[in-house]
Amino acid sequence: MSAVRVLAIDTSCGACSVAVWDGARRELLAGESLVMAQGHAEALAPMVQRVAQRVEGGVDALDRIAVCVGPGSFTGIRIGLAMARAMGLALPVPVVGVSALVAFAAPLLVDPAPGVIASVIDARHGQVYFQLFEASGRPMMGARVARLKDVVRAIGGAAARAVGNAADLLAEEGRRSGVEIDAGAGSNAPDIAAIAQLGVVADPATSPPRPLYIKAPDAQPSAGAAIPHAQG
């Protein structure tokens, strides 16, 4: 699977991002990202075209498409999924879905440090989507939605690094509870290169391009594999 060339798409949070990753060369061939709260529908198709034109062979050289399936903006997620599915049918190539929570956490594995990785995305109304990972990248639980204070409680006082667009909010809640949480890796949107690399190793049979909707009663612990380490 290492030779797969992947087009990655993300419109799940506060940016519109597209990239092409070459699994054989283990490098980003082309990419573009624009910070935006809205307007993804108008920006995405031209961005895909620009990025594809900078890669030898263009879209015909793609082996698969990876799309961020959330959690995040309902409208943004649907825009990205629609584009990915349409391209997958037209080329045709497999389309895989990548969790935004996993994508936010993945870059921290390049610079490992002791403690918990807390991936948090603003769910509004005082709640966040979150998932905790061991320093190795192994999930400690499935993706959930909860109040910030419940996320701090789940961390349990351990050393923690927060990622995601709600990282600062979690760090602030941690300070109120006497828990030190490093939010230095927080960002407005997932790293599109991380989404592409996760797309290389994703199994189309178990990572379908479907929106990742999370409701508290339905969240279950996950026995999933660790996040694949980024390879440079």
* 6-46 pLDDT per residue, tens: 999 999 999 999 999 999 999 999 999 999 989 999 999 99
**Domain residues for 202?**
5-99+189-212
CA dihedral 138, 18, 182, 117 (to 10 degrees): -10
Q: CA 130, CA 150: separation in Å to the nearest integer?
A: 10
Identify whether 230 is part of a domain: no
User: Could you identify the residue written with the tokens 């905790």?
Assistant: 132
Identify whether 147 is part of a domain: yes
Q: pLDDT at position 154, please? A: 95
Number of compact structural domains in the chain:
2
Identify whether 226 is part of a domain: no
Distance of alpha carbon 85 from its chain centroid, rounded?
Answer: 18
Q: Do 70 and 17 fall within a single domain? A: yes
β-pairing, 116-124 vs 95-98, is: unpaired
Q: Do 92 and 115 fall within a single domain? A: no
Q: Do 161 and 199 fall within a single domain? A: no
Q: Do 207 and 172 fall within a single domain? A: no
Query: pLDDT for 151-164, tens place per residue?
Result: 999 999 888 999 99
Per-residue burial over 158-167, b = 16 or more CB atoms within 10 Å of its CB, e = otherwise:
eebbbbbbbb
CB 68 within 8 A of CB 11: yes
Q: Do 109 and 169 fall within a single domain? A: yes
Residue 205 sits in a domain of what CATH number?
A: 3.30.420.40
Query: pLDDT for 113-127, tens place per residue?
Result: 889 999 999 999 889
Identify whether 228 is part of a domain: no
CB 174 within 8 A of CB 181: yes
Q: CA 204, CA 221: separation in Å to the nearest integer?
A: 22
Q: pLDDT at position 219, please? A: 40
pTM for the whole thing? 0.90
Residue 120 sits in a domain of what CATH number?
A: 3.30.420.200
Q: CA 127, CA 148: separation in Å to the nearest integer?
A: 6
Q: Do 151 and 194 fall within a single domain? A: no
Q: Do 91 and 203 fall within a single domain? A: yes
